Amino acid sequence: MITVGQYVERISAVFDEAELFYGHGTDNGYDEAVYLVFASLDISFDDPSAYAREISPQDREIVDARVEERISKRTPVAYLVGQAWFGGMRFIADARALIPRSPLAEFIAGGCVPFVTIPPRRILDLCCGGGCIGLFAAHQFPQAKIVLADLSADALALAQENIALHKAAARVSTLQSDLFAALEGRFDLILSNPPYVPLDEMLDLPSEYRHEPALGLVSDDDGLAIPLKILREAPDYLADDGVLIMEVGYSHEQLSERLIEVPLLWLEFANGGEGVFAITRDELLRYREQFK
């Protein structure tokens, strides 16, 4: 007999031995093993007594097969178990969209202060993937209407499933759009985690990332083509006192160098993460020429 706790320890050691890459919600083999075992067996992460529970041979068979796939194919755990957590909310996750991991969760959980002072009425999640950012914003701002926009029909189908999961259809809608092309009206807040990985760096990413859709990662022009286009077009879709919050991850140094005169306000995160900035509509208009 083996307990859940012992089984997690064993898998954690196997993961460490296999030198996996952790970058999709965990940063070490032990947490990855907990994620895989608990989510596979539908055990609550908040249940400390679960570690002492005996694990059945049938359950081990299910998890062992996933351990094997995690190692041999480097499939991220979120795709193996079909779910991921963002801001404490559970989302359906599969290869139709990137696995939620943006540090924006912390910012949204904090009410987007100091940029949001009155409750936003319309929020746009641009490049929404499976919809985690916009749906978490819907949860934090219960009076807001949210649009989830993405170019990928697959990602939007997943976003629809997540809207249904969170019973949010009354306030959250999806729209297929090439950035702002199909959007109408103005938003108090635009949240965006667009693709920002340069093509040549994509080829060097660990194998785990190759399970995710390339459309969600790659952007031309050193990773900056899509972020710059968003900066250029966003003021036409922001309310007068609206704010754009955008993640550019590790491309933040390149963007700062390129936009040396622009006052991008880089956010700091207690829980880790970097490369997210805020900029108001007024500033976007003032520096518009720089975004060409």
Ligand X SMILES: C[S@@+](CC[C@H](N)C(=O)[O-])C[C@H]1O[C@@H](n2cnc3c(N)ncnc32)[C@H](O)[C@@H]1O
Residues that bind ligand X (CB under 6 A): 97-98, 100, 102, 127-129, 132-133, 150-152, 155, 178-179, 193-195, 215-216
Distance CA 277, CA 121 (A): 21
Decide whether 128 or 262 has the Cβ nearer to ligand X.
Answer: 128
Nearest distance from C-beta of residue 40 to ligand X, angstroms: 22
Decide whether 216 or 273 has the Cβ nearer to ligand X.
Answer: 216
Nearest distance from C-beta of residue 39 to ligand X, angstroms: 18
Nearest distance from C-beta of residue 216 to ligand X, angstroms: 3
Whether the CB-CB separation of 174 and 142 falls below 8 Å is answered with no
Distance CA 282, CA 285 (A): 5
Q: What residues have CB less than 8 Å from 153, skipping those under 6 apart?
A: 176
Distance CA 131, CA 223 (A): 22
Decide whether 5 or 110 has the Cβ nearer to ligand X.
Answer: 110
Whether the CB-CB separation of 14 and 67 falls below 8 Å is answered with yes
Closest CA to 265 of 73, 69, 112: 112
Among left, alpha and beta (phi > 0; psi -120 to 50; other), residue 127 is: left
Distance CA 49, CA 154 (A): 39
Nearest distance from C-beta of residue 247 to ligand X, angstroms: 7
Decide whether 116 or 155 has the Cβ nearer to ligand X.
Answer: 155
Q: What residues have CB less than 8 Å from 3, skipping those under 6 apart?
A: 51, 52, 53, 54, 55
Decide whether 5 or 213 has the Cβ nearer to ligand X.
Answer: 213
Distance CA 19, CA 97 (A): 25
Decide whether 6 or 160 has the Cβ nearer to ligand X.
Answer: 160
Decide whether 120 or 249 has the Cβ nearer to ligand X.
Answer: 249
**Minimal CB distance to ligand X: which residue?**
129
Closest CA to 124 of 193, 188, 170, 215: 188
Nearest distance from C-beta of residue 96 to ligand X, angstroms: 9
Nearest distance from C-beta of residue 89 to ligand X, angstroms: 13
Nearest distance from C-beta of residue 7 to ligand X, angstroms: 30
Nearest distance from C-beta of residue 200 to ligand X, angstroms: 18
Decide whether 202 or 215 has the Cβ nearer to ligand X.
Answer: 215
Whether the CB-CB separation of 149 and 175 falls below 8 Å is answered with yes
Q: For strands 122-126 and 238-247, give the pairing.
A: unpaired
